[in-house]
Amino acid sequence: MTKLLLRALAGETLPVPPIWMMRQAGRYLPEYRATRAEAGDFLSLCYNPELAAEVTLQPIRRFRFDAAILFADILLVPQALGADLWFVTGEGPRLSTITDGAEVAKLKAPDAIHDTLAPIYETVRRLSRDLPPETALIGFAGAPWTVATYMIAGRGTPDQAPAHALMRDDPEAFAALMERIEAATVEYLSRQVEAGAECVKLFDSWAGSLSGEAFERWSLAPMKRITAALKDRHAGLPVIAFPRGAGTAYEGAHAATGADCIALDDGVTPDWAAKHVQTGGCVQGNLASSHMVTGGAALVREVRRIREAFSGGPHVFNLGHGITPDADPDNVALMIDTLRETVDA
Ligand code: CP3
């Protein structure tokens, strides 16, 4: 029995698509908040294999999702490369900043990240042992552009302006940083696969602030090289790429990234994406996260609309972005029940 997620990623059209949810282990769940309190803080939770595996399993137990995503964060790679990283409660991540080539040169070598990241690989090993046999395990990393935006600015920014400024004012330093992150990401994901991840996802959450040639060069092309390197080392490994905010540039993204599945945010309609993106392969998405807060008839209608629009090809049901802390777990259950109800009901 092949797991549903892996069948969809391999291109199979299924009567009911597999479902999982970005940030499915998170603050909207009381059991997550309890385990996080036990760990002390968010980073201690990420680096504690027993507790990180526990929070990864919580939404699987509660909702029987078809896939679990490793509990970690995209900013652990910068930390492993030598950046300082901390989280300010209620505000988000803070990192030491990269402003020139000398600082890029001081970062660690891509294969020197594993000491820091060893607990993450241990979490993956525990999960591949403890997950139910029908549940697929997804590993992940940030795509180089998104990771670079945080390393350059030292925090999340609305428009990624510091990263755009470095790209413009010191293109060599910017390119060197991108190269370092790309190489580290291949090593990191490769270890996740060796530890038991059955597919991997690349999060390019800020791809939408790149346009034209810059989008191709700094979002799509690095994801394509990472995907190719991983498939070279791990034959048949399925890859999901998420160039969030790509808009009409989602068209052609399968070929441009080499990924088996393209994750869609809710900025594109399912009807458009079925015609222009799903023709290239499996798509994932794209219910607006706000329905997990508001629920009701609108949620039911939208789940059916998305399932219907993508029913002619391979599809993984998901949100367009992560579930938010103010979401109601009952709405998650309603989404899943609506999706899994018999197709001809
Ligand atoms: O999806 C999952 O359940 C797996 C775990 C996961 C987390 N972060 C846990 C997390 C994944 C896949 C991520 C990815 C991530 N992290 C991205 C890319 C996806 C996206 O959302 O666009 C980004 C940009 C980050 C960086 C990051 N981590 C930010 C900006 C923040 C603060 C914002 C927030 O929601 O508080 C985090 C913190 C974070 N990462 C939390 C979780 C569950 C909340 C931390 C907490 O418990 O306090």
Q: To which H or E segment does residue 323 belong?
A: none
Residues whose CB falls within 8 Å of the CB of residue 19, separated by 6 or more in sequence, listed in order: 65, 66, 316, 317, 318, 335, 336, 339, 340
343 pLDDT above the threshold of 70: no
Q: Which two tokens stand for residue 157?
A: 């920014």
Atom index in ligand 1 nearest the CA of residue 72 equals 5
Cα 193 to averaged position of ligand 1 atoms, centre (Å): 21
Atom index in ligand 1 nearest the CA of residue 201 equals 12
Q: pLDDT for 256-265, tens place per residue?
A: 999 999 999 9
Mean predicted confidence (pLDDT) in 10-37: 98
Percent above pLDDT 70 for the chain: 99
Q: pLDDT for 151-198, tens place per residue?
A: 999 999 999 999 999 999 999 999 999 999 999 999 999 999 999 999
Mean predicted confidence (pLDDT) in 327-341: 97
For residue 246, the 8-state DSSP code is -
Residues whose CB falls within 8 Å of the CB of residue 110, separated by 6 or more in sequence, listed in order: 81, 180, 183, 184, 186, 187
Q: pLDDT for 225-280, tens place per residue?
A: 999 999 999 999 999 999 999 999 999 999 999 999 999 999 999 999 999 999 99
* CA geometry: angle 158, 161, 164, nearest 5 deg: 135
108 pLDDT above the threshold of 50: yes
Q: Which residues pair with 282 in a beta bridge?
A: 261
Mean predicted confidence (pLDDT) in 282-286: 97
94 is catalytic: no
Q: Which two tokens stand for residue 168?
A: 């413009």
Nearest to 39 by CA among 61, 56, 58, 55: 55
Return the CATH class of domain 4-340.
alpha beta
Q: pLDDT for 58-87, tens place per residue?
A: 999 999 999 999 999 999 999 999 999 999
Atom index in ligand 1 nearest the CA of residue 244 equals 22
Hey, is 282 helix, strand or coil? strand
Nearest to 218 by CA among 264, 249, 248, 262: 249
User: 314 with 13: CB under 8 angstroms?
Assistant: yes
Cα distances from 24 to residues 89, 176, 345, in angstroms, run 20, 34, 28
Give, to the nearest 10 degrees, the angle between helix 144-153 and helix 161-169.
Answer: 90
301 is catalytic: no
- Binned at pLDDT 50, 70 and 90, residue 342 comes out as low
Provide the pLDDT for residue 208: 97
Mean predicted confidence (pLDDT) in 27-39: 97
Q: pLDDT for 299-319, tens place per residue?
A: 999 999 999 999 999 999 999
- Binned at pLDDT 50, 70 and 90, residue 124 comes out as very high
Provide the pLDDT for residue 345: 41
For ligand 1, atom 20, which residue shows the shortest CA distance? 205
Provide the pLDDT for residue 305: 98
Report CA Rg, the chain.
Answer: 19
Supply the pTM of this predicted model.
0.97
138 pLDDT above the threshold of 50: yes
Provide the pLDDT for residue 90: 86
Nearest to 110 by CA among 223, 213, 190, 15: 190
Average pLDDT of the chain, as a whole number: 97
Residue 316's CB is within 10 A of a number of other CB atoms, namely 23
**Given the residues 28, 121, 150, 250, the one annotated as active site:** 150
Domain map (residue ranges) of the chain: 4-340
32 is catalytic: no
Percent above pLDDT 90 for the chain: 98
Mean predicted confidence (pLDDT) in 40-63: 97
CA-to-CA distance for 11 and 186, rounded, in angstroms? 24
Provide the pLDDT for residue 329: 98
- Binned at pLDDT 50, 70 and 90, residue 145 comes out as very high
- Is the peptide bond preceding residue 286 cis, with omega within 30 degrees of 0? yes
